[in-house]
Amino acid sequence: MRIEDSQAFGESKRVKFERHIEIDCPNQSTVDLLSAATRLPKAAIKQAMTKGAVWLSRGSATQRIRRADKALRAGDQLHIYYDEQVLQQQPAEAILIADEGDYSIWHKPYGMLSQGSKWGDHCTINRWVEKGLQPQRPAFVTHRLDRAATGLMVIAHRKKVAAYFAEQFRLRKVGKNYQAVVHGRFPDAKTIDTPVGQKPALSHASRISYDAGTDESLLEVVIETGRKHQIRRHLAEAGFPVVGDRLFGITADQTGRDLCLSSCHLSFLAPHDGMRKTYTLPQELRPLFPCPAHTAPS
* Candidates 146, 193, 211, 253; catalytic one: 146
Count CA atoms closer than 13 A to 43's CA, side-chain side.
0
Cis peptide bond prior to 200, omega within 30° of 0: no
CA distance to 128, 150, 168, 194, 205, per residue, from 259 (Å): 22, 8, 27, 22, 17
Rounded CA separation 94/259 (Å): 17
Residue 153: in which H helix or E strand, if any?
strand 150-156
How many angstroms from the chain centroid is the CA of residue 41?
30
Rounded CA separation 63/79 (Å): 10
User: CA quadruple 46, 48, 50, 53: dihedral positive or negative?
Assistant: negative
Closest CA to 279 of 93, 130, 100: 100
146 is catalytic: yes
Contacts 24+ apart (CB under 8 A), 263-266: 263/145, 263/149, 263/150, 263/151, 263/152, 263/153, 263/176, 263/177, 263/178, 264/151, 264/152, 264/177, 264/178, 264/179, 265/152, 265/175, 265/176, 265/177, 266/105, 266/152, 266/154, 266/174, 266/175, 266/176
Rounded CA separation 154/183 (Å): 30
Rounded CA separation 252/259 (Å): 15
List residues with catalytic annotation.
Answer: 146
